[in-house]
Amino acid sequence: MVLSADVSRSDTSFAPRLPQCSHFIDGQHVDPSGSETTEVVDPARGKAIVSLRLGNEKDVDTAVCAARAALPTWAAKTPQARSELLLALAEAIATDRENLEKLEAINCGKPLAVTADDVDSTIDVFRFMAGAGRTGSTIPAGDYVADTMSLVLREPIGVIGLVTPWNYPLLMGAWKISAALMAGNTVVYKPSEVTPLTSLRLAELAKDILPAGVLNLVLGTGPEVGQSLSKHPQVDMMALTGSVRAGMAVASTIASDLKRGHFELGGKAPVIICDDADLENAANTVTEAGYWNSGQECGAATRVIIHESVADEFTQLLAQKVGSYVLADPEIPGEENLGPMIYQGHYAKVMDMIGEAVERGAEIVLGGNGDDSAGFWVEPTILKVSIGDPITENEVFGPVVTIETFSDLTEAVERANAVEYGLTGSVFTADVSTALEVSKALDFGSVNVNTHLALPTEMPWSGFKHSGYGRDLSAYALDDFSRTKHIAIRH
């Protein structure tokens, strides 16, 4: 196994400043009232960074009350006033970027190239929402009934509970916080208990910028704090990014009082490669988009479905390119670095999925090994699999790309669609008609042609089927975090 991780963190200049590990409620750092604790672990070493006390239902109630109290004043601010505060927060993040990049790197094991991209995108989404929220559009005011003027107001929904995953901790929080706040809501935010460090730092940065109670953070687990938020009668909407399992658990809880829900859940992205595709481009794209963040990415290009006539050539090209990746601690510089799996249980799941596929007859083209003696490392892996193998339909969330072939394009699209997920997918072809036909036929919330994971802040990111509903990014997110009110005035 090619592992260049050095398990003793020798370079002390790398060490980021740890944030205050407490709730952030009503503008103050507050100790969790629960006695339960959890360790935040450095996945590159498998060692604890810090121990956290977890919150409970009582803490959620305190945070929701603070968010409720702050709502009228925040909602009444002009878009310009909210925009200026979000821009100030973006500037504070930009000023703190080196620290945030390192914090995310030690908590997630991510290479600095990935955490730099996370922080760039975080700054960008705050700036984008700060601008886009000043240009909202609705149906034009006018007399749609004789002598009666109609106008449409766009109002905040109220207090929003936000729950986020461990794979892009800062960025997933930023996607939702920026849109929810700009639309005039107040927020109670529960980051993943596995990777809370950059979210805690974000709360510290917000302390001197946002009015008290506008952004609150409660530490804790999904079943305790996530569910308490979902049940709370003063929470008007729940927005969750995470697994289908967690999405369904929250959706089922909020159904009992008809709260709004916004869900960004798992994915299984097909990459359909036609016989006329530029194979060099396809291989470069899968090398990047299949292994970015070590494949711990909901939109990862993990499932190649390729025309049988070009499968061997593509597989060779891909193996060559992916073979140059090196498993390395974030502290070690390198363009070709990949980080570890996030925690022991996830490492075991990824290794089991590889092992079970191999038992069913999958051929290992590259990788396939793991090492959890110090950290949770899985080699970048390519598997040649047969049609219908379960690994082609289930989310691995690791550095594993499968390759299956097709002879008939219509059947390939049917196969790509025959999964529970519908987040993103791509098609590689030189033919514009094929590109359009396949893009329309793919049952996924975003489809890329001759690229994968093109994710501009201006465009909506949302899934179909069990990948959830609710749009992040773009002006559509502002729509999702607001409600319309029709006022009719007889004159």
* Residue 76 Cβ vs ligand NAD, minimum distance, rounded to whole Å: 31
402 backbone dihedrals φ, ψ, rounded to 5°: -105, 150
Annotation says 458 is catalytic: no
Contact 470, 478 (CB under 8 A): no
Reduced to 3 states (helix: H, G, I; strand: E, B; else coil), residue 453 is coil
In the structure, how many helices (H) and strands (E) does the chain have?
14, 25
Reduced to 3 states (helix: H, G, I; strand: E, B; else coil), residue 369 is coil
Contact 219, 23 (CB under 8 A): yes
For the chain, percent helix, then strand, then coil, each to nearest 5? 40, 25, 35
Distance (Å, whole) CA 461 – CA 318:
27
Both tokens of 73, joined, read 């004043």
* Residue 300 Cβ vs ligand NAD, minimum distance, rounded to whole Å: 9
Residue in 101, 193, 264, 331 annotated catalytic: 264
| Residue number with CB closer to ligand NAD (436 or 455) | 455
| Residue number with CB closer to ligand NAD (240 or 435) | 240
| Residue number with CB closer to ligand NAD (238 or 272) | 238
* Residue 234 Cβ vs ligand NAD, minimum distance, rounded to whole Å: 17
| Residue number with CB closer to ligand NAD (68 or 231) | 231
Task: For 367-420, list the strands marked E by DSSP.
Answer: 370-371, 377-378, 381-384, 400-406
Contact 260, 240 (CB under 8 A): no
* Residue 279 Cβ vs ligand NAD, minimum distance, rounded to whole Å: 28
Task: For 312-407, list the strands marked E by DSSP.
Answer: 326-327, 337-338, 363-366, 370-371, 377-378, 381-384, 400-406
Annotation says 264 is catalytic: yes
| Residue number with CB closer to ligand NAD (226 or 380) | 226
| Single-letter amino acid code for the residue at 39 | E
| Residue number with CB closer to ligand NAD (14 or 343) | 343
Q: How far are the Cα atoms of 328, 361, 384 from residue 411, in angstroms, in the given order?
A: 40, 22, 19
Report how far Cα 306 is from the mean position of its chain's Cα atoms.
27
* Residue 428 Cβ vs ligand NAD, minimum distance, rounded to whole Å: 23
Q: How far are the Cα atoms of 60, 202, 246, 266, 404 from residue 220, in angstroms, in the given order?
A: 10, 17, 14, 21, 41
Residue in 108, 297, 298, 331 annotated catalytic: 298
CA dihedral 297, 299, 301, 303 (to 10 degrees): 100
CB-closest chain residue to ligand NAD? 222
Those residues whose C-beta lies under 8 Å from the C-beta of residue 260, and which sit 6 or more positions away, are 157, 236, 237, 238, 254
* Residue 85 Cβ vs ligand NAD, minimum distance, rounded to whole Å: 26
* Residue 301 Cβ vs ligand NAD, minimum distance, rounded to whole Å: 14
Both tokens of 357, joined, read 């596929």
Distance (Å, whole) CA 368 – CA 145:
67
Q: How far are the Cα atoms of 18, 114, 190 from residue 102, in angstroms, in the given order?
A: 10, 11, 21
Residues in contact with ligand NAD by CB under 6 A are 163-167, 172, 190, 192-193, 221-223, 226-227, 240-243, 245-246, 249-250, 264-267, 298, 395, 397, 423, 463, 467
| Residue number with CB closer to ligand NAD (59 or 331) | 59
* Residue 122 Cβ vs ligand NAD, minimum distance, rounded to whole Å: 14
Q: Which letter does DSSP use for residue 191 in this model? A: -
| Residue number with CB closer to ligand NAD (14 or 464) | 464
Which of the residues are catalytic? 264, 298
